[in-house]
């Protein structure tokens, strides 16, 4: 570690991946600096996973109050206070910001408030001051994007939606990814008249086709107005302060807020990548190798800014792998196979491994086990919500290659299933595992007969 540098490792961005890498490196005696210009914890803590999950919890309560009647609890209609939810959320985020700050301080890393900019491959400038570093790590994450169209400045993104001054009674959500789907469930659950538009045939592209169709049906049951093959042509503010959306089918829609959740781009504006010779892919993502090294040998990048898998736990894994690679021996590359994922729509999606469509491209002999049912809770609640579970099995090896669930607590359940798949579990392992009764999760170990199968890639009758 040369004395010619102010720091051994200079991290730009104090999100999940950057903080993890900084703390681990500092614990090894590495001289670390972290520059952050916005908020500690990055997207996940401030405008992503954490506030979103809190709002998902909030959105369930109206439904739960109604369902409680079937269990003997009578209650009057309870008013919802948006400002209280918003302010309580903000207080919790402030608490978490402080925790991240203390974690870095206690690790010995130096925190520098401001936007880091590369001057060259070993120099970072923050607020006019320059720092020399042996290595630089870029962990600036992603940023929501809104396409340009007439009135596009009237739309909000996931960065602003949590902190609206007033609760929007009518909401238009544009997009077909997990963020759009989750917010549609949130606002519908909180009592807003919610419309979701997506320009394609069906949202959640890349997920299992049956899961996508099942979720769409369940969301419609819960009052979300889903409109596919449709987009916004323009937005304008009316005399009353509402927004009028002109749609591509010639119709209009008057709402109180428009949320655009149509994608996120790598947060690279103003980073000075060209000054250090750091190459980027189309769309701005920073190009890296298996050890997260860029085209500039002293510069590394992890997390959403490299646009591999945009998930907080993946950024954490990348940060840990990078530190192990730089300061330990025998570090193994991050394995991007079998990453479990949850979508906190209503009901939740939990998935790990391949979709049915993906599995067929790898395993021409495929057995599909499927179960759909009404959860025990809803036999009394009165809800017509249904649960879907799928197991995909390579018929030649009997190995389970994909598991999917739509239903309550799907994300919680899928975490344990992911461990089994990482261990190479076969269908026989599932079959010989004793279930926990009565739970929805036990269905995964009691499915005995395939619902359908494929042989040589052809579906069998």
User: Which residue is associated with the tokens 């959306």?
Assistant: 245
CATH 3.40.50.300, applies to 7-143+265-327: no
Q: Specify the CATH class of 152-262 in words.
A: alpha beta
**Helix H or strand E segment including 412:** helix 410-422
Kindly state the average pLDDT of the residues 350-370. 98
Residue 179 clears pLDDT 60, i.e. is over it: yes
Asked whether this chain's domains 152-262 and 341-455 adopt the same fold, the reply is no
Are 20 and 146 in contact, with CB atoms under 8 Å apart? no
Q: So what's the pLDDT on residue 77?
A: 82
pTM score, two decimals? 0.96
pLDDT tens-digit profile of 8-28? 999 999 999 999 999 999 999
pLDDT tens-digit profile of 37-65? 999 999 999 999 999 999 999 999 999 99
Are 381 and 70 in contact, with CB atoms under 8 Å apart? yes
The pLDDT-based confidence of 2 (bands split at 50, 70, 90) is low
The pLDDT-based confidence of 76 (bands split at 50, 70, 90) is confident
Question: Rounded to the nearest 5 degrees, what angle is found at the Cα of 172, between the Cα atoms of 308 and 208?
Answer: 40
User: Cβ–Cβ contacts within 10 Å for residue 253, how many?
Assistant: 18
Q: How much of the chain is in helix, strand and coil states, percent to nearest 5? A: 35, 25, 40
Write down the H helix ranges in 197-278.
Answer: 209-221, 273-276
User: Cβ–Cβ contacts within 10 Å for residue 437, how many?
Assistant: 8
The residues assigned a catalytic role are 437
Percent of the chain with pLDDT over 70: 100
Residue 1 clears pLDDT 60, i.e. is over it: no
Q: So what's the pLDDT on residue 78?
A: 86
pLDDT tens-digit profile of 390-435? 999 999 999 999 999 999 999 999 999 999 999 999 999 999 999 9
Q: Can you give the residue ranges of every domain in the chain?
A: 7-143+265-327, 152-262, 341-455
Domain at 341-455: CATH code: 3.30.390.30
Q: 318: helix, coil or strand?
A: helix
């Amino acid at each position: 570690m040369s004395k010619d540098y102010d720091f051994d490792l200079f991290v730009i961005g104090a999100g999940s991946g950057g903080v993890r890498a900084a703390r681990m490196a500092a614990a090894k005696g590495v001289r670390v600096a972290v520059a952050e210009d916005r908020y500690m914890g990055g997207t996940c803590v401030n405008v992503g996973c954490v506030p979103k999950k809190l709002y998902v919890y909030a959105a369930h309560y109206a439904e739960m109050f109604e369902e409680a009647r079937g269990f003997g609890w009578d209650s009057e209609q309870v008013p919802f206070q948006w400002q209280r939810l918003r302010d309580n959320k903000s207080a919790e985020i402030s608490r978490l910001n402080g925790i991240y700050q203390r974690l870095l301080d206690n690790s010995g890393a130096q925190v520098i408030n401001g936007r880091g900019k590369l001057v060259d491959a070993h120099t970072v400038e923050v607020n006019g001051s320059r720092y020399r570093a042996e290595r630089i790590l870029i962990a600036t994450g992603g940023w929501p994007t809104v396409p340009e169209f007439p009135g596009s400045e009237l739309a909000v993104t996931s960065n602003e939606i949590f902190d609206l001054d007033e609760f929007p009674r009518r909401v238009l959500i544009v997009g077909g990814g997990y963020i759009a789907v989750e917010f549609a469930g949130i606002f519908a659950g909180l009592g807003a008249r919610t419309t979701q538009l997506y320009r394609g045939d069906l949202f959640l592209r890349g997920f299992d086709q049956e899961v996508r169709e099942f979720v769409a049906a369940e969301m419609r049951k819960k009052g979300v107005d889903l409109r596919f093959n449709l987009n916004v042509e323009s937005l304008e503010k009316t005399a009353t302060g509402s927004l009028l959306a002109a749609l591509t089918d010639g119709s209009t829609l008057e709402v109180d807020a428009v949320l655009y959740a149509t994608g996120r781009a790598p947060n690279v504006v103003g980073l000075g990548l060209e000054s250090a010779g750091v190459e980027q892919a189309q769309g701005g993502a920073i190009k890296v190798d298996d050890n997260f090294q860029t085209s500039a040998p002293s510069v590394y990048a992890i997390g959403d800014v490299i646009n591999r898998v945009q998930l907080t736990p993946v950024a954490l894994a990348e940060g840990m792998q990078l530190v192990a690679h730089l300061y330990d021996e025998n570090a193994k590359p991050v394995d991007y196979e079998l990453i479990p994922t949850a979508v906190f729509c209503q009901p939740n999606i939990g998935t790990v491994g391949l979709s049915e469509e993906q599995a067929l491209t790898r395993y021409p002999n495929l057995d599909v086990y499927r179960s759909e049912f009404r959860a025990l809770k809803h036999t009394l609640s009165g809800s017509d919500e249904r649960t879907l579970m799928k197991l995909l099995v390579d018929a030649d090896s009997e190995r389970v290659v994909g598991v999917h669930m739509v239903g309550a607590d799907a994300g919680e359940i899928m975490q344990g299933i992911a461990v089994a798949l990482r261990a190479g579990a076969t269908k026989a392992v599932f079959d010989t595992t004793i279930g926990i009764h009565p739970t929805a999760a036990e269905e995964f170990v009691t499915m005995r007969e395939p619902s359908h199968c494929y042989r040589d890639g052809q579906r069998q009758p």
